[in-house]
């Protein structure tokens, strides 16, 4: 065994013998791929900026079946989901990766099933190429599977994943959403929790012709937690997948999105914002594949980084030879609040068609001293002036969230974590 192979095998040590207990053929194949590759390290190009050493610090057990209902209710209240307009929205709540029926309200007009019963993995994911997806395939226990009938406008559905643990655990939900022709849905995914854990969800999305899915992810994991989420989306002709990620929690987080525009006139938006402090690491990675002509993709990501925080943006637009008249755009902007904060930006264009309009850009800067002086000269304290400018920077990113309910929830969570007074709660 070579040194590299041995090192990669050792990356799986936190999961103990859990990876060797599977018998299902799909799971066994994923386990084999995982043992051959190990978890990715910085020698893997797609992971050169994001280290998974966090996972090696302690064993990660399977979560138990029991949870504290009072603590779950308190988490829902803290997230603003127990009162007000959000309390009336249908929701699917998962605790430590398992469906929690007492806190859930099933949506009407949607076919709902659960991975725990059907154990259907779907065909969009790539466990043979993506180790975190392989890990999910081996260890997945539950997840939501939603199917919206043709022509149905469902409105909002909340997909809430809560981590609650007194010991180090990992959980790996397996979700799927399918919109049939002309259907529409606003899916708000909320990732939060308390304790030390790894949350490793995989979501497969299929958007039918003329269908529209607005997918907003709010990541507010516990300060000792890691969230490594992977989404695969396939968009049919004249369909729209509009994604937005807000990342403010977790010691380590990565939101990885693979979106494929598979038929003419499809549209994909993969936008996001991160506000990180202390030693947080936040990674937004995307691969948008234009596999058909006359398609549009947009991606704008903003980062606000303080302390020793590090933000990562990797966005790749791949344009197939047949994808003429592609219109693709990427922009990453970062605001560094300290000399020790870091942003790593890697926009990519890989184009094989000759009639396209594609561009990308990146900017990095600090707070504008003239604007700070203007506010201070009018009696605004320095800390508050800084927060006002930071909120203004983030507000431009949140404006990309077209759904008012989802945008209000983003604003509420961001303000709760970083109030204008300058004190973190």
Residue 10: its pLDDT value, please?
80
Provide the domain count of the chain: 2
How many C-beta atoms surround the C-beta of residue 134 within 10 A? 27
How many C-beta atoms surround the C-beta of residue 421 within 10 A? 11
In angstroms, rounded to a whole number, what is the distance separating the alpha carbons of residues 79 and 160? Answer: 10
Has residue 200 been placed in a domain? yes
Has residue 410 been placed in a domain? yes
- Collapsed DSSP state (helix, strand, coil) of residue 56: helix
Residue 419: its pLDDT value, please?
83
Has residue 131 been placed in a domain? yes
Has residue 115 been placed in a domain? yes
Would strands 91-95 and 342-351 be described as parallel, antiparallel, or unpaired?
Answer: unpaired
pLDDT tens track, the chain, 425 positions: 333 444 466 889 999 899 999 999 999 999 999 999 999 999 999 999 999 988 887 899 999 988 899 999 999 999 999 887 889 999 999 999 999 999 999 999 999 999 999 899 999 999 999 999 999 999 999 999 999 999 999 999 999 999 999 899 999 999 999 999 999 999 999 999 999 999 999 999 999 999 999 999 999 999 999 999 999 999 999 999 999 999 999 999 999 999 999 999 999 999 999 999 999 999 999 999 999 999 999 999 999 999 999 999 999 999 999 999 999 999 999 999 999 999 999 999 999 999 999 999 999 999 999 999 999 999 999 999 999 999 999 999 999 999 999 999 999 999 888 887 644 44
- Alpha helices in 174-288, H assignment, sequence order: none
* Beta-carbon-side half-sphere exposure of residue 394 (alpha carbons within 13 Å): 28
pTM of the model: 0.95
Report in angstroms the alpha-carbon separations of 157 from 144, 216, 235. 11, 11, 20
Has residue 118 been placed in a domain? yes
In angstroms, rounded to a whole number, what is the distance separating the alpha carbons of residues 184 and 211? Answer: 6
Q: Are residues 254 and 391 in the same domain?
A: no
Q: Are residues 378 and 259 in the same domain?
A: no
Q: Are residues 219 and 77 in the same domain?
A: yes
In angstroms, rounded to a whole number, what is the distance separating the alpha carbons of residues 391 and 104? Answer: 33
Strand partners, 187: 157, 215
Q: Are residues 85 and 220 in the same domain?
A: yes
Residue 225: its pLDDT value, please?
97
The pair phi, psi for residue 51, each rounded to 5°, is: -95, 140
Q: Are residues 382 and 235 in the same domain?
A: no
Q: Are residues 129 and 9 in the same domain?
A: yes
Q: Are residues 255 and 379 in the same domain?
A: no
- Last residue of a domain, which of 229, 263, 297? 263
Cβ–Cβ under 8 Å, residues 334 and 302: yes
- Last residue of a domain, which of 263, 289, 321? 263
- Collapsed DSSP state (helix, strand, coil) of residue 244: strand
Name the residue among 178, 287, 300 with its Cα closest to residue 230: 287
In angstroms, rounded to a whole number, what is the distance separating the alpha carbons of residues 94 and 111? Answer: 18
How many C-beta atoms surround the C-beta of residue 168 within 10 A? 18
- Residue 206 belongs to domain spanning: 3-263
Q: Are residues 253 and 400 in the same domain?
A: no
In angstroms, rounded to a whole number, what is the distance separating the alpha carbons of residues 65 and 53? Answer: 28
Q: Are residues 249 and 380 in the same domain?
A: no
Q: Are residues 96 and 224 in the same domain?
A: yes
The pair phi, psi for residue 116, each rounded to 5°, is: -60, -30
Residue 315: its pLDDT value, please?
96
Residue 82: its pLDDT value, please?
87
- Last residue of a domain, which of 234, 263, 292? 263
> What are the structure tokens assigned to 174, written together?
């397996």
Has residue 277 been placed in a domain? no
Has residue 47 been placed in a domain? yes
Has residue 313 been placed in a domain? no
């Amino acid at each position: 065994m070579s040194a590299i192979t041995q090192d990669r095998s050792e990356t799986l040590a936190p999961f103990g013998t859990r990876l060797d207990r599977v018998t299902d053929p799909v799971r066994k194949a994923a386990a084999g791929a995982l043992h051959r590759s190990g978890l990715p390290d910085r020698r893997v190009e797609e992971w050169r900026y994001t280290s998974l050493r966090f996972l090696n610090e302690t064993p990660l057990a399977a979560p138990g079946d029991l949870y504290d209902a009072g603590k779950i209710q308190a988490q829902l209240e803290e997230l603003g989901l127990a009162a007000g307009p959000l309390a009336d929205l249908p929701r699917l709540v998962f605790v430590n990766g398992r469906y929690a029926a007492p806190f859930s309200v099933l949506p009407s007009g949607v076919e709902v099933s659960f991975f725990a019963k059907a154990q259907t993995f779907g065909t969009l994911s790539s466990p043979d190429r993506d180790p975190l997806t392989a890990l999910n395939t081996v260890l997945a226990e539950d997840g939501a599977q939603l199917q919206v009938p043709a022509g149905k406008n469902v409105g909002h559905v909340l997909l809430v994943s809560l981590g609650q643990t007194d010991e180090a655990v990992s959980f790996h939900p397996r979700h799927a959403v399918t919109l049939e022709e002309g259907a529409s849905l606003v899916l708000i995914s909320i990732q939060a929790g308390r304790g030390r854990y790894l949350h490793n969800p995989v979501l497969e999305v299929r958007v039918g012709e003329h269908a529209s899915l607005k997918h907003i992810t709010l990541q507010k994991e516990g300060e000792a937690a890691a969230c490594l989420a992977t989404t695969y989306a396939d968009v049919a002709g004249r369909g729209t997948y509009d994604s937005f990620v807000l990342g403010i929690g977790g010691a380590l987080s990565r939101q990885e999105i693979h979106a494929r525009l598979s038929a003419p006139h499809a549209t994909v938006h993969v936008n996001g914002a991160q506000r990180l402090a202390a030693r947080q690491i936040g990674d937004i990675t995307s691969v948008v594949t234009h596999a058909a002509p006359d398609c549009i993709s947009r991606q704008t990501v903003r980062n606000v980084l303080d302390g020793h925080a590090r933000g990562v943006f990797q966005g790749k637009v791949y344009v197939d030879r047949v994808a003429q008249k592609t219109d693709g755009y990427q922009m990453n902007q970062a605001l560094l609040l300290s000399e020790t904060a870091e942003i790593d930006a890697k926009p990519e264009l890989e184009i094989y068609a000759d009639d396209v309009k594609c561009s990308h850009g990146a900017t990095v800067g600090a707070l504008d001293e003239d604007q700070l002086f203007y506010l201070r000269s009018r009696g605004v304290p320095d800390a508050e002036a800084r927060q006002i400018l930071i909120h203004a920077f983030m507000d431009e990113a949140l404006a990309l969230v077209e759904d008012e309910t989802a945008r209000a929830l983003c604003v509420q969570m961001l303000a709760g974590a970083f109030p204008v007074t300058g004190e973190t709660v």
